[in-house]
Amino acid sequence: MAKKKGEKYKCEECGLIILVEDPCGCEECDIICCGEPMKPVKVSEAKPKAKATPKTKPKAK
């Protein structure tokens, strides 16, 4: 499993999610948590970002 900067991995046992910031450069390696290799997180599994609600200006009198 090649790791690239920005990839996310999730532990199926405990739910820990990691983000690769500095790849190791190995040809092949696994990220282990709870004794099992972590699985890549797909874009559809990522939590949606909360949208900020626009502030409304008070009406002039």
Q: Which residues of the chain form beta strands (DSSP E)?
A: 8-10, 17-19, 32-33, 36-37, 39-40
pLDDT on residue 60:
73
Residues 42-57 have pLDDT tens digits of 866 545 555 666 667 6
Amino acid 1: pLDDT? 55
pLDDT at 42: 83
Single pTM value for the model = 0.60
pLDDT tens by residue, 4-60? 888 999 999 999 999 989 888 777 788 899 999 999 998 665 455 556 666 676 777
d(CA 5, CA 32): 18
